[in-house]
Amino acid sequence: MQSPIRRDDLIHSEAALRKALEIIMWLVRVALSTVELVPPLGYLIRPRELTGQLRDWLTSQKSSPRLWMDASTLDDLGSQLFVPREPCCLCLGLAAWQDAASIANLLRVNHIGPFLWETYKTTLLDRVLEELKGQFGLIKRALNSRETSAYAKTEWGILVTLKPEQGLQLFEYFCLPAPKDPTLPIVAKLGGNIFSVTAVGAETVRLGLCFNGFEGPACLALQHWLQNVHQPVSTT
């Protein structure tokens, strides 16, 4: 069924987003040439530095951590600002809440990821793991362990096992949409030559982290796990 309204009809959301853009431009003292319109997602802003005025303003906003960046809700209509955590590139993402996941993915893949790859190279995967360990309280376990909030090294990368409620937090942390079909693994490009493969079971959620080129083996491993946890129960 076609929606009775169009995106252009959300005039208050558009006005709120433009107001937020003008405030940020003033706080970081940037010219129009440093702002890139990304239709229909939002804006990318490239300041020379994060000024003290912007930092003070951000502390008054409601923010939460995401992979490599922090997300702030700027107004009652849900305008979202993504600020990379230091040390990282200076490129801010601004979008309406409907486009938050898309602008975050664009920022992560095209801007933050390349910067971090050039800085850390093959140690970047371990840095992602350290970030997740702090966020989800991960403990190193054996690869065949059934413990949750755990991780293990594999031949293709890193396998993380989470509780179901942590799985929901994981999708939010990676700025990814919730899975529509739990019987299939979800492959996503995180940036910095890193891929994630997520599989949702009834009692646990598994996450595979790997470098570009190893997403195939990771996907096969988690697909095999999904086939086992979602197989029909015999009634005979």
**What confidence tens digit (pLDDT) does each residue in 163-205 have?**
999 999 999 999 998 888 888 999 999 999 999 999 999 899 9
CB within 8 Å of 121: residues ≥ 6 apart: none
Nearest to 199 by CA among 174, 217, 224, 177: 224
- The pLDDT of residue 37 is above 80: yes
Q: Is 205 left (phi over 0), alpha (psi -120 to 50) or beta?
A: beta
- Read off the pTM: 0.90
With pLDDT > 90 as the criterion, what percentage of the chain qualifies?
77
The confidence band for 233, taking pLDDT boundaries of 50, 70 and 90, is low
Q: Distance between CA atoms of 25 and 40, rounded to whole angstroms?
A: 20
* 158-162 and 205-211 beta bridge pairing: antiparallel
Place of tokens 């530095």: 49
- Is 60 exceeded by the pLDDT of residue 162? yes
Residue 47: is its pLDDT beyond 60? yes
d(CA 41, CA 20): 15
